[in-house]
């Protein structure tokens, strides 16, 4: 009798442990720890398609900074180093994080390093930037980037055939002139650091377009770095099949001609072309478009298979 109870208890205990293990496994099946490290660097970067350079403040020496990607539920462990050769304090502010602003986002001096971590609780496309004073200048000089948090449910959104990140940002001829930034007196608009970067129509020195095949679902992640300008994002000769404000699959809008992305905001835009030809992706505030915020998306049956995939999601 007691022997039977013992074995029944053991069975129950084992079953309980198994169920607990399965539960833990389901709860963390895709959760990972993602280590991200960046170095603030004050270096010269290209400012146009001709290759002219100017001193910028950057994450890892590029404008924009690295594209960060993780999955909903992941823990992101972030390390920021401020290059000892720099002259200024720098910091990072991840819009994908819920944390303490002072300890996580506070500035560090040249030569210092800091760490913080957060869980990626919300899927979507989020802005990150330096928040050191004056923040308007740290962003205008190039300290910005994008982080994609993929939904943990792979079927939460239609599968994209190609993906492109476009970070729109104002450029100022004199990056020392904080008063011009405060007054909104920008001179050009960049996509991924350079005006007309993907538009050989308006700049003969541009060497790339965004590419896809007719019928493919192309997913554009538009991040508006600002610091001040709004972006009304429209695909000339197309319609956004879906728009997801902040990139969250629960925010789906359909059949949109234009959707406004505020400074510091981002959204996911899906487009499908039934025909070969070009769409021009513009900020339809036309001073912005004609100052650099036009990207050509070419639909052709012979589209470069590497574009919009791997390291060509943010083509440099």
Whose Cβ is closer to Cu ion: residue 45's or residue 143's? 143
Whose Cβ is closer to Cu ion: residue 88's or residue 273's? 88
- To the nearest whole angstrom, how small is the minimum distance from the Cβ of residue 138 to Cu ion? 4
**What residues does 81 pair with on adjacent strands?**
39, 113
DSSP 224-285: EEESS--EEEEEET--EEEEEETT-GGG-EEEES-EEE-TT-EEEEEE--SSSEEEEEEESS
Whose Cβ is closer to Cu ion: residue 46's or residue 110's? 110
Whose Cβ is closer to Cu ion: residue 132's or residue 279's? 132
* Touching Cu ion, residues 110-149 (CB under 5 A): 130, 132, 138, 143
For position 90 contacting Cu ion by CB under 5 A, the verdict is: yes
Tell me the C-alpha to C-alpha distance, in Å, between residue 6 and each of 11, 14, 20, 54, 64.
8, 12, 21, 77, 64
For position 81 contacting Cu ion by CB under 5 A, the verdict is: no
- To the nearest whole angstrom, how small is the minimum distance from the Cβ of residue 132 to Cu ion? 4
Q: Which helix (H) or strand (E) holds 182?
A: helix 178-182
Q: Round to whole Å and give the CA distance between 306 and 127.
A: 25
3-state per-residue secondary structure call for 79-120: EEEECCCCCCCECCEECCCCCCHHHHHCCECCCCEEEEEEEC
- To the nearest whole angstrom, how small is the minimum distance from the Cβ of residue 107 to Cu ion? 8
- To the nearest whole angstrom, how small is the minimum distance from the Cβ of residue 137 to Cu ion? 8
Closest to 236 (Cα-Cα) out of 258, 260, 212: 258
Whose Cβ is closer to Cu ion: residue 40's or residue 147's? 40
- To the nearest whole angstrom, how small is the minimum distance from the Cβ of residue 144 to Cu ion? 10
Whose Cβ is closer to Cu ion: residue 82's or residue 283's? 82
Segment contacting Cu ion by CB under 5 A, of 88-96, 151-159, 207-215, 252-260: 88-96
- To the nearest whole angstrom, how small is the minimum distance from the Cβ of residue 291 to Cu ion? 24
Cis peptide before 64 (omega within 30 of 0): yes
If binding means CB under 5 A, how many residues of this protein chain bind Cu ion? 5
Residues that bind Cu ion (CB under 5 A): 90, 130, 132, 138, 143
């Amino acid at each position: 009798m007691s022997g039977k109870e013992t074995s029944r208890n053991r069975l129950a205990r084992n079953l309980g442990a198994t169920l607990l293990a399965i539960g833990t496994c389901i709860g963390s099946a895709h959760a990972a720890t993602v280590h991200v490290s960046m170095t603030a660097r004050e270096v010269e970067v290209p400012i146009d398609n001709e290759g002219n350079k100017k001193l910028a403040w950057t994450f890892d020496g590029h404008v924009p900074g690295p594209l960060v990607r993780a999955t909903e539920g992941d823990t992101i462990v972030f390390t920021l180093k401020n290059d000892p050769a720099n002259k200024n304090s720098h910091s990072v502010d991840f819009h994908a994080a819920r944390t303490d602003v002072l300890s996580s986002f506070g500035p560090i001096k040249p030569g210092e390093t800091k760490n913080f971590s957060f869980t990626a609780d919300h899927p979507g496309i989020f802005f990150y930037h330096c928040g050191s004073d004056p923040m308007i200048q740290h962003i205008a000089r190039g300290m910005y980037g994008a982080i994609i948090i993929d939904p943990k449910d792979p079927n939460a959104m239609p599968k994209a055939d190609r993906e492109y990140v476009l970070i729109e940002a104002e450029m100022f001829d004199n990056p020392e002139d904080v008063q011009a930034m405060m007054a909104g007196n920008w001179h050009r608009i960049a996509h991924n650091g350079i005006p007309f970067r993907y538009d050989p129509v308006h700049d003969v020195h541009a060497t790339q377009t965004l590419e896809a095949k007719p019928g493919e679902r192309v997913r554009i992640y538009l991040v508006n770095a600002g610091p001040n300008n709004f972006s009304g994002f429209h695909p000339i000769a197309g319609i956004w099949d879906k728009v997801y404000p902040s990139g969250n699959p629960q925010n789906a809008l359909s059949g949109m001609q234009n959707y406004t992305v505020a400074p510091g905001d981002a959204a996911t835009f899906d487009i499908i072309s039934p025909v070969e030809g070009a769409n021009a992706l513009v900020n339809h505030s036309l001073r912005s478009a004609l100052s650099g915020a036009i990207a050509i998306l070419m639909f052709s049956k012979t589209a470069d298979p590497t574009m919009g995939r791997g390291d060509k999601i943010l083509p440099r």
